[in-house]
Amino acid sequence: FDRLAVPALQGLRAYDPGHDLVAWRRRVGPSLVELGSNENPWGASPAARAAVLDQLHAIHRYPDPLGGDLKRALAQKHGLAVEQLILGNGSHELLMQFAQVFAGPGDEVVASQYGFAVYAIATQAAGATLRAAPALPREHATMPRGHDLDAIAEAVGPRTKLVYLANPNNPTGTHFTIDTLANFLRKLPPEVLVVVDEAYAEFVEGGESALSLLAHHPNLIVTRTFSKAYALAGLRVGFAVAHPGLIAVIERVRESFNVNCMGLAAAEAALGDVEHLQWGLARNAEERARLADALRSRGWFVHPSQTNFLLVEFGARTAAIEAGLLDRGVIPRPMIGYGLGDCLRITVGDRNENRRFLDALDALA
């Protein structure tokens, strides 16, 4: 059947979400510790939950095709014009659309060696070619295996249409500063579009964001999601911010009604509940520090993280540790697909989940 696909899609592997969580939930039950998908263990804002229920009377109707209320709320929060916004069924959908719209056969797309896996899939699906710039070395003091923006700038050539950056990056958890990004943007030809994927931006200390550079860079696209800090992964809502002219072009491929009514209402309510957001962020920071300390004190190399997960190098024991964790009902994320077969990615859970993870790890020692 592979040959029935258009050439760009032949041989392409589908996005691999890791373990079959539904099967694991069935096997282990509610005691399963799910640390494989960077979900938010503390749950959504009560206001968002109420907003979902409030939509039940409306599910026989199509949702607002433009998501006007949510866009207005986002525009107000971030000081943007509504025309600078497009909504996605998760930010994953938007990341796919950028390649579909801006890169085709003969074009190149640049990303970092350990950049988020969707960039390669989006590029290949569009028929374009990915150039992966080497990451910073594992020995780098603050950003081991992180994005090397100099190497990325060097990889940009005359055929480059699009650059995908993740800040912070999944799976490394590393973060580069806004000054580094500003320097990078100054170096790039203005016709090359730069996507800054900020799925984990809320977790970054100091709250720096590429959104602040939009006014001076009409080639910049910033994506965000409600799946992580806002704890709405199951409802699939993301958004992108860019120059209104760029947004209008991306709109051409957007499915009508791509974000459902519950997602729209819940995201808007979650945006208004700043207290719940801050509470979750504070708990994540506390638990992340405890978990990183606990792992380092056991001798493991933990990549510094500005996110809700940790990339941990278990070296030659990685496969055995993964199997042992699974045996004990703890789900980590394998990294073989990223060429990081000596690491596992561990989502920061709540206190109890993290303890169960560490206990399972100690039982394997």
First to last CA, the chain: 45
How many residues sit close enough to ligand PMP to count as binding (CB under 6 A)? 13
Do 162 and 193 form a contact (C-beta atoms < 8 A)? yes
Position with the least CB separation from ligand PMP: 90
State in angstroms the smallest separation of the CB of 144 from ligand PMP.
Answer: 17
Residue 170 binds to ligand PMP (criterion: CB under 6 A):
yes
| Candidate list 45, 225, 305, 354; residue touching ligand PMP; CB under 6 A | 225
Comparing CB distances to ligand PMP, the nearer of 116 and 300 is 116
* Contact partners, residue 215, CB within 8 Å, separation at least 6: none
For 231, phi then psi, to 5°, come to 60, 40
State in angstroms the smallest separation of the CB of 90 from ligand PMP.
Answer: 3
Comparing CB distances to ligand PMP, the nearer of 263 and 360 is 263
Residue 174 binds to ligand PMP (criterion: CB under 6 A):
no
Q: Backbone dihedral region of 214: left (phi > 0), alpha (psi from -120 to 50 degrees) or beta?
A: alpha
Do 181 and 211 form a contact (C-beta atoms < 8 A)? no
| Candidate list 39, 148, 197, 313; residue touching ligand PMP; CB under 6 A | 197
Of residues 255, 219, 258, 218, the one with CA closest to residue 238: 258
Q: Is 73 exposed, middle or buried (0-12, 13-18, 19+ CB in 10 A)?
A: middle
Do 94 and 239 form a contact (C-beta atoms < 8 A)? yes
| Candidate list 51, 132, 162, 166; residue touching ligand PMP; CB under 6 A | 166
Q: Applying CB under 6 A, which part among 89-97, 187-195, 321-329, 344-352 lies near ligand PMP?
A: 89-97
Residue 116 binds to ligand PMP (criterion: CB under 6 A):
yes
Comparing CB distances to ligand PMP, the nearer of 45 and 227 is 227
Q: Applying CB under 6 A, which part among 4-12, 39-47, 86-94, 178-186 lies near ligand PMP?
A: 86-94
Q: Which pair of tokens denotes residue 199?
A: 């799925």
Residue 233 binds to ligand PMP (criterion: CB under 6 A):
yes
Comparing CB distances to ligand PMP, the nearer of 340 and 361 is 340
| Nearest-angstrom CA–CA distance, 305 and 307 | 5
Taking the C-alpha atoms of 202, 207, 213 and 215 in order, what is their torsion angle to the nearest 10 degrees? 80
Residues 34-73 that bind ligand PMP (CB under 6 A): 38
Interface residues with ligand PMP (CB under 6 A)? 38, 90-92, 116, 166, 170, 197, 199, 225, 227, 233, 238
